[in-house]
Structure 1
């Protein structure tokens, strides 16, 4: 009788595990689609910025070629007071560690602490403890610039207690999406 009860309990746990696995797979697919959409948007933005830069360069060349002079009665002014902007802003924190351009960041709180993760042209993902102003995690594995990072909550079922484990997801120009284990700094398989 005890053996039958244990067998039923094992089958129940297997069903629950399979249901949770299916839910996690669905969540991963949703995240993949989100990352693909964000990467597409990022690439479109880069292309648009490049086109705008080319247009500006062409306009500047045209102005030089035309060599015109504005008459003294023409009033044209387009200025931005950077000093006014600076006086109303202040630097709060600086995190040093990346060796190239940072393309993306995300913010999260867990375990009563605040964190930022960042992705960079240097192919790394880093996690920073905001309260201590320190880098606490470094994820290596991408072979090209990291363009999107995101904290994701993931629940594991251990001994019938739900524990929240943060995961960092990243996508890069190497055409990969990676899921990083916050505790071990390794990738999920």
Structure 2
């Protein structure tokens, strides 16, 4: 799956290179995408300050998550697929419950805009990187 400056995501067949579907709904450039661990859901973050959860098979929008004050630049699913982490140009990370859509926690102190997020293999921690050239480790439980 790829994100684009044309506000869309596109799902591709790796073997043939053929485009399978287009996901439409973001209002600005898509900055980050991630597959859920089950391969059935896709998460995206964009310059419209939102995250969006999609059904990978149909391309249907399942839920929009709002809360960041600036572009959502990085997204990640937990290994069990029950939570998501987002990072933003607002310098914050947000932890979300996938099923309810609830925001579980806001992490502050990154300094500058967040450029990447990833869960540890046990889902207990999240690492984030930012434009301030620092990596930070956060407790995610």
The two structures have a TM-score, normalised by structure 1, of 0.45
Counterpart Cα distance in 2 of 1:148 and 1:133? 20
Say whether residues 1:101 and 2:17 are aligned partners: no
CA deviations on 1:118-161 (whole Å, 9 max, x unpaired) are: 000000000111112211121100010010000113xxxxxxxx
CA deviations on 1:8-59 (whole Å, 9 max, x unpaired) are: xxxxxxxxxxxxxxxxxxxxxxxxxxxxxxxxxxxxxxxxxxxxxxxxxxxx
Say whether residues 1:188 and 2:92 are aligned partners: no
Say whether residues 1:167 and 2:93 are aligned partners: no
The two structures have a TM-score, normalised by structure 2, of 0.59
Corresponding position of 1:119: 45
How many residue pairs were aligned?
Answer: 90
Unaligned runs of 5+ in 2: 1-15, 106-141
Return the structure number with greater helix share: 1
The 5-angstrom pairing of residues 1-189 of structure 1 reads 89-110=17-38, 114-153=40-79, 164=80, 166-189=82-105
Counterpart Cα distance in 2 of 1:179 and 1:99? 22
**CA positional deviation for 1:165:** 5.4
Counterpart Cα distance in 1 of 2:91 and 2:27? 21
Counterpart Cα distance in 2 of 1:183 and 1:130? 16
Counterpart Cα distance in 1 of 2:67 and 2:73? 14
Q: Which structure's CA Rg is the greater one?
A: 1
Q: Which 4+ residue blocks in structure 1 deviate beyond 3 angstroms?
A: none
Question: Secondary structure of the residue that 1:109 maps to in structure 2?
Answer: coil
